Amino acid sequence: MPKRDEGALAERETYKAYHTVSTRWADNDQYGHINNAKFYEFVDSAVNAHLIIAGVLKDSIGLVVDSGCRYTSSLAFPDVIEVGIKVDRIGTSSVTYGFAVFRRASTEPAAIGHFVHVYVDAETRRPKPLPDGLRRVVENLQA
């Protein structure tokens, strides 16, 4: 498998949609910064909010089957975060998303990464081809 070049993901302009997250006091860990696991929550919320607002998560759900994240700086409450998302690859039933997490108005990301959703039938949990509406929305997110 070729190595991902996540360094190329750092340009703000490459992301096609942004979701704003207000951090909470509880997001800080004992070291005084936002715990790394919270970043995945922020990204998952950004992608799903985008798809829900577009009205394309009806009969399919996306299950994360692969993910990776590189942290470049820390964030802490009360930072306001902007999560940039884009699509790097569209398969028959899967979508590879690229993401970057920025402190509001910053040009340097605090984290960059990827994750892969396999879209499955909500009842059977078996992979199924991307519905046309979902495919159109993720195509608009392609870098």
Share of the chain above pLDDT 70, in %: 93
**Local structure of 107: helix, strand or coil:** coil
Residue 120 in domain: yes
Helix, strand, coil distribution of the chain in percent, nearest 5 = 25, 40, 35
- CATH number of the structural domain spanning residue 96: 3.10.129.10
pLDDT, one tens digit per residue, over 56-78 is: 988 788 999 999 999 999 999 99
Q: Show pLDDT as tens, one digit a residue, over the chain (143 residues).
A: 444 454 454 689 989 999 999 999 999 999 999 999 999 999 999 999 999 999 998 878 899 999 999 999 999 999 999 999 999 999 999 999 999 999 999 999 999 999 999 999 888 999 999 999 999 999 999 97
Residue 38 in domain: yes
Per the rule left: phi > 0, alpha: psi between -120 and 50, beta: everything else, 32 is left
Say how many domains are in the chain. 1
Residue 1 in domain: no
Burial class (CB in 10 A: 0-12, 13-18, 19+), 39: buried
Residue 65 in domain: yes
| Residue 59 confidence (pLDDT) | 74
107: containing domain? 6-139
